[in-house]
Structure 1
Amino acid sequence: MQSSNIPASSQWAISDVLKRPSPGRVPFSVEFMPPRDDAAEGRLYRAAEVFHDLGASFVSVTYGAGGSTRERTSRIARRLSRQPLTTLVHLTLVNHTRAEMEQILQEYSELGLTNLLALRGDPPGDPLGEWQSTPGGLNYANELIELIKQSPEFQHFDVGIASFPEGHFRARTLEEDTEFTLAKLRAGAEYSITQMFFDVEDYLRLRDRLVAADPVHGAKPIIPGLMPITSLRSVRRQVELSGAQLPRELEERLLAAANGDEEANKDEIRKVGIEYTTQMAERLIAEGAVDLHFMTLNFTRATQEVLHNLGMAPAWGAEHGQDAVR
């Protein structure tokens, strides 16, 4: 049952969803990005239908730099929540004053969107550039969490955060990154979702660091973020934007599959990528991950192929009864 202080229009809290039994080997969830046009938005909804039918535990919707997708994010999240899909909305501090943050939280609350991923966010135009504070705004994600948890009108929000298996690139050491993460958890965040990573050992060491530093807050659920690799160009772009590292062994396997011509050998590259992500997922399941969070780029095929390899979904393709979304 939902807590009595949560509005009746709200969905299940993600922190409660993670405790519920899963029909599959482990719960899985997916991330969507606000599309740029109506056609892409239609594709997102078709993808959402597929993941609904496959039993996704929740879906998340990212937030454009500086609030550039605010209205579309809200509209999409509201529609997904009515599908019904438990829906997590990302929110960043970029280009927002404290008053604007409060207004956005009020809007989300009125829409019943009370699952929130609290993020500081990346500087517009250059995700790896220097952080620029907004006059009258907040500077750190833990400040947003404190605003939520210390405000009676917002305390019903269930809050998650981002965590970084390789350490956030702005942190000088892994120890400093650990303290940044714990500050957000201590402020009231209930769980974290990791940035994409490609080495399961990095995830396990993150889990170990947090628990060692704080056995109470550091033991909160850490959901691994996975991006199935479908092309060299795509994974290079995502690595560049995120600051994550591509393991040398994986890069060599992808280059060997490309054999000097990425376009001609795209199917072989994809095969290696899906196999690698499947192997990561198998290890994460064995290590007790509470959920697998797939970064879909608003497509279904790659994620469904991984889920099928894990025995958690039917084979993908129109010949198997699935709509060809990708």
Structure 2
Amino acid sequence: MTQPDPGTRLADAPSRFAGLPGDIAVSFEFFPPKGDKGDEQLQRTVERLAPYEPDFVSVTYGAGGSTRAGTITALERIVGSTSVPVAGHLTCVGASKVEVNEVAERYRAMGVTHIVALRGDASPPGTPYSPHAQGYRGAAELVEALARTGHFDISVAAYPEAHPESPSVEDDIANLRRKVDAGANRALTQFFFEPETFLRFRDRAVAAGIDVPIIPGVLPITNFKQTCKFAGICGATIPDWMANAFDGLDDEPAIRNLVAATLAAEFCGKLYEEGVRDFHFYTLNRADLSYAICHLLGLREKAREPVAA
């Protein structure tokens, strides 16, 4: 099958974004920062994106649960500095059920009742997953335990191109169905770079009886080499035309960001035309690209409350 010419696709961009009513819902994902500069960067990013009134913002766990303390600290700071709904990631890997449950209850104690429930990846990347001897065997079992408490709104992961450890696309869809049947309220997808990838996946999921919202995960490209590394780990395909679009821009950050925003906005615009109204942005703790894409999709900042004298 011949790949569409990106130039032809972009020619329709002006009309694609004309008069959009801003009828989308968004969420933003962050990672736990390191050091004072990282803390400041995350705080600026949260403040920049908060006026879009996201459905929620989330903070990730590192591989092997390596950033658990940092995740909790970041969540506490966001909860203490903004009224934006917050979701905490929670993984099974490297921890007993008791330890995982303690983190869930700590989230609840700080007012975080939305959990992104994940199996998690072993560390270093590429290491085969092995359940903890006293732990949850996988995400479906974790979801079931969280749902049983009645305290949590639960999101789970979905993989439009299948999880790299999955034997087949069909097996991966079946695993998602198990998580939904266990009590998940929505699925957030891994990033992907062709709208058709998500649309095909959504059709397969619906055909399999999965009836919860499936929200596409969008990764605006701030660093193409880094994106290729991420894609290799999670099994996402980098189209040849996209590699060509970023070729030669390693030392041109301003131009690279312009290309990234254009491509990501066009990508989201196509999803919008196909009925998608919810978007989950992997921000990498930077606001500008996600902010620009949301703006092109018709979203506008809500009026800020005046500061008391």
TM bin (shorter chain): 0.7 to 0.9
Corresponding residue for residue 289 of structure 1:
276
Corresponding residue for residue 6 of structure 1:
none
Corresponding residue for residue 275 of structure 1:
262
- Kept in 2: contact 1:167–1:173 (CA 8 A): yes
Corresponding residue for residue 80 of structure 1:
78
Corresponding residue for residue 159 of structure 1:
154
Counterpart of 1:248 (choices 240, 258, 263) is: 240
- 1:121-178 CA distance string (max 9 Å, x none): 111111x32112211111210000111223xxx3120111000011111111111111
- After TM superposition, the structure 1 stretch with the greater mean CA deviation from structure 2, 284-293 or 265-274, is 265-274
Corresponding residue for residue 171 of structure 2:
176
- Kept in 2: contact 1:67–1:95 (CA 8 A): yes
Counterpart of 1:305 (choices 279, 289, 292) is: 292
- 1:32-73 CA distance string (max 9 Å, x none): 000111221121011111111232221011012233222221
- 2:119 maps to amino acid: R
- 1:71 maps to amino acid: A
For these two proteins, the number of residue pairs brought into alignment is: 280
Taking the aligned partners of 1:290 and 1:80, their CA distance within structure 2 comes to 25
**Matches for 1:94-133 after TM superposition, within 5 Å:** 94-126=93-125, 128-133=126-131
Q: Give the 3-state SS of the residue equivalent to 1:170 in structure 2.
A: coil
- Kept in 2: contact 1:31–1:293 (CA 8 A): yes
Taking the aligned partners of 1:42 and 1:262, their CA distance within structure 2 comes to 25
Corresponding residue for residue 212 of structure 1:
207
- 1:296 maps to amino acid: T
TM-score normalised by length of structure 1? 0.81
Whose RCO is larger (CA < 8 A, sep 6+)?
Answer: 2
- Kept in 1: contact 2:33–2:74 (CA 8 A): no
- 2:279 maps to amino acid: L
Taking the aligned partners of 2:231 and 2:254, their CA distance within structure 1 comes to 21
Structure 1 runs (4+) greater than 6 angstroms displaced = none
Q: Give the 3-state SS of the residue equivalent to 1:156 in structure 2.
A: coil
Q: Give the 3-state SS of the residue equivalent to 1:219 in structure 2.
A: coil
Structure 1 residues 30 and 202: alpha-carbon distance in aligned structure 2, compared to 1, 3 A threshold: same
Q: CA deviation at 1:302?
A: 1.3
Q: CA deviation at 1:111?
A: 1.5
Taking the aligned partners of 1:98 and 1:66, their CA distance within structure 2 comes to 15
Q: Give the 3-state SS of the residue equivalent to 1:172 in structure 2.
A: coil
Structure 1 residues 148 and 311: alpha-carbon distance in aligned structure 2, compared to 1, 3 A threshold: closer
Q: Give the 3-state SS of the residue equivalent to 1:28 in structure 2.
A: strand
- Kept in 2: contact 1:78–1:113 (CA 8 A): no
- Gap regions ≥5 residues in structure 1: 1-22, 315-326
- Kept in 2: contact 1:32–1:295 (CA 8 A): yes
Corresponding residue for residue 192 of structure 2:
197
Taking the aligned partners of 1:92 and 1:231, their CA distance within structure 2 comes to 27
Q: Give the 3-state SS of the residue equivalent to 2:294 in structure 1.
A: helix
Q: Is residue 2:16 matched to residue 1:29? A: no
Taking the aligned partners of 2:75 and 2:277, their CA distance within structure 1 comes to 23
Sequence identity (%): 34
TM-score normalised by length of structure 2? 0.86
Corresponding residue for residue 7 of structure 2:
none
Q: Give the 3-state SS of the residue equivalent to 2:154 in structure 1.
A: strand
- 1:262 maps to amino acid: D
- 1:284 maps to amino acid: L
Corresponding residue for residue 4 of structure 2:
none
- 2:269 maps to amino acid: E
Taking the aligned partners of 2:87 and 2:258, their CA distance within structure 1 comes to 30
Q: Superposition RMSD on alpha carbons, in Å?
A: 1.7
